[in-house]
Chains A and B, each alone.
Chain A
Amino acid sequence: MSIIPPSGTAEDAREGMRTEAVSPRSRTWRAFVRNPFGLVSLAVLFLIVAVALAAPLIAGEPGGYSADVLAPPSAEHWLGTDNIGRDVYNQIVWGARTSLAVGLGASALAIVLGAAVGIGAAYFRRLDTPLGMLIDVMLSLPILPLMILVAALAGPSISTLVVVIAVFSWPEVARVVRSQALPVVDLTYVNAAHVIGAPNRWVLLRHVLPAVTPVIVVSVVLTASRAVLSEAGLSFLGLGDPSSWSWGTILYNAQRSGVLASAWWTALFPSLAILLLVVAATLTSLAYNDARNPRTRGDSAR
């Protein structure tokens, strides 16, 4: 995230706005902190990251079978146990690692691919038709069944999940980046750069990429949250990494052992974890979008 924490108090900020020009970045940050939704969501995201990082400290290794099969939530097992007696709380804490790793990994890969294709299509006119068509075709296909096929063939593992999700998630990024880059490549300063003989690489890096960076920032969060959903979906269908813990796998085990309807805690808590992460990510990116947009920011007159 390109958000820089504010330096100084709110008083300073108001002073600064009145007297001198404020950098767009700090103006965005100030609008962002004014929005309680955005701030709370960001805090929730940080909390989830902290939980994932601190997993060994705050939860036991969830591997152990125990005699406490399907125990409801209690002081000993905060969130109950599953059909073979594994603690649900421990699984959720360790599952946060998988979700975040797959989400961030797949998102990073999809962003690189999508940004490259999107910018390429907008900048090199000859590529626009074939690439645009490829994006359209990929977007219209039912991606989940395709992901299932590939994940089943390649064998379940975290790296498989990352690659599979990224390979089928980039078109969404490419579409957004392309539509943002299209008007930019015709702007005067881009033409001027061509006139003075700047190589394509330089124009792309200096002019086109900075213009699409904000969309990319938003895409990182949105793509990551979609990747978390995809990972949970694939794990729910039994394609999760068998050697690690995953929120979707908890649901898969509950579904397969037929305890979904009777042991509500095996379904509720992992579901809540997924919901919390994805809603927080979505709201954070929305709040960032609003804070960046002078029309919704509310300080455009000043």
Chain B
Amino acid sequence: MGLLRFVSVRLLRGLLTLWFAVTVTFFLVRLLPGDPALAVASPTMTADQRAQMLSDFGLDEPLLVQYATYLGQLAQGNLGISFRQNAPVLDILLERLPWTLLLTGSSLVVTLIVGVPLAVAAARRQGSALDRAVQVGGVVGQALFVPTVGIFLLYVFGVWLGWLPIGGAMASDVYGVAAYGSILAHLVLPGLSLVLLQLGPYVLFLRTSLIEALSEDYTNVARSKGVSETKVVWVHALRNALLPTVTLVGLQLGFLVGGSVLTETIFAYPGIGRAIYESVGQLDFPVMQGAFVLLAATVVVANLLTDLMYGLLDPRVRQT
């Protein structure tokens, strides 16, 4: 019962977030000086052609009518038509979405797989050389510029050592198992860039919560009962320290998605981020708008999943 209420409150908040994102973008696009009509119209058009095209795209209606139409269309999964490619924005983006999900999802998983043991090791030997290195690395990591990391990895492992491909998502002439291998090889560098960028905040945050948990009464009780230190850290303290870290995932998701836009641009990775980069060059506003809405929706869904996980990890949520 408690969990159900918790989830429905979170679901409502997710919907509110989505509505906010949709509404803000709609009005920004219509009210800002960059006239979408100018972007589609070419100077050689006659006035009639121009008016015809505006009504084709529905740009001659009153603002609120356009807004209502937009919401209605959106509810049916219609994100509009690309100015440049003459194809539905949703189709263009759905083709790209799996790559972005693969890139961001795998980098998040790897970040946690690497980050949790690192934070545990640092918290267990507070003040040790490793702990210092983790702290300095964490701070510097937060200050990194996304393209810098990508370019560095691309240069060292792609160009200089030649170990890994420097762009794209897979080679075009491979099939079967080799295709999976190719996808993986193309994923390593962009994925690693995102891991390096996210690792700092997670490790620093988890380290602090672990140090706190390790000085709590319940860990001392566990120790005095004779539970081994390894078990105290990994079972008793870690489970509690992970709770605030799960919340951090929610806060970091937006940053991760932003990082993927820049990373995909560098590695010519065919995800949503690369689509955004291409549409900036072509002033294709429907694609930019749709990409943001779709990414926001992805973040909302991912946030719901982390909330659900939080509910499962923390029994208090289920009871109240």
Contacts and interface: CB of A to CB of B under 8 A. Distances in A.
Interface of A: 133, 136-137, 139-146, 148-150, 152-155, 225, 229, 232-233, 236-239, 248, 251, 255, 260-262, 264, 267, 271, 274-275, 278-279, 281-283, 286
A153 B285 contact: yes
B25 interface: yes
Given A140-B250, A145-B295, A261-B154, A271 B285 contact: no
Nearest to A155: B34
Contacts of B296: 141-142
Interface in B287-306: 288-289, 291-292, 295-296, 299-300, 303
Interface string B62-77: 0000000000000000
Given A236-B265, A237-B262, A137 B254 contact: no
Contacts of B292: 142, 145-146, 148-149
A38 B155 CA distance: 32
Contact of B265 (A133, A139, A146, A255): A255
B51 interface: no
A148 B281 CA distance: 11
A279 B155 contact: no
Given A236-B265, A237-B262, A261-B154, A278 B250 contact: no
A154 B283 CA distance: 11
Contact of B285 (A140, A141, A152): A152
Contacts of B262: 144, 233, 236-237
A149 B273 CA distance: 12
Nearest to B284: A152
Nearest to A229: B145
B304 to A, nearest CB: 11
Contact of A279 (B143, B285, B303): B143
- Which of A140, A237, A238, A278 has the largest number of chain B CB atoms within 10 A? A140
B147 A153 contact: no
Interface in B207-264: 250-251, 253-255, 257-259, 261-262
Interface stretch (B16-24, B41-49, B111-119): B16-24
Given A137-B17, A142-B258, A233-B262, A152 B280 contact: yes
Interface in B144-165: 144-148, 151-152, 154-155, 158-159
- Which of B13, B21, B148, B296 has the largest number of chain A CB atoms within 10 A? B148
B132 to A, nearest CB: 12
Given A145-B257, A236-B147, 15 more contacts: A133-B13, A141-B296, A145-B273, A145-B295, A146-B25, A148-B261, A149-B25, A153-B285, A238-B280, A251-B151, A261-B154, A271-B151, A271-B152, A279-B143, A281-B143
A278 B142 CA distance: 9
Contacts of A282: 139, 142-143
Contact of A275 (B20, B33, B148, B154): B148
B277 interface: yes
Nearest to B36: A153
A232 B145 contact: yes
A251 B289 contact: no
B166 interface: yes
Given A145-B291, A232-B145, A261-B154, A155 B33 contact: yes
A202 B283 CA distance: 49
A255 B266 CA distance: 7
Nearest to A146: B292
B185 interface: no
Contacts of B285: 149, 152-153
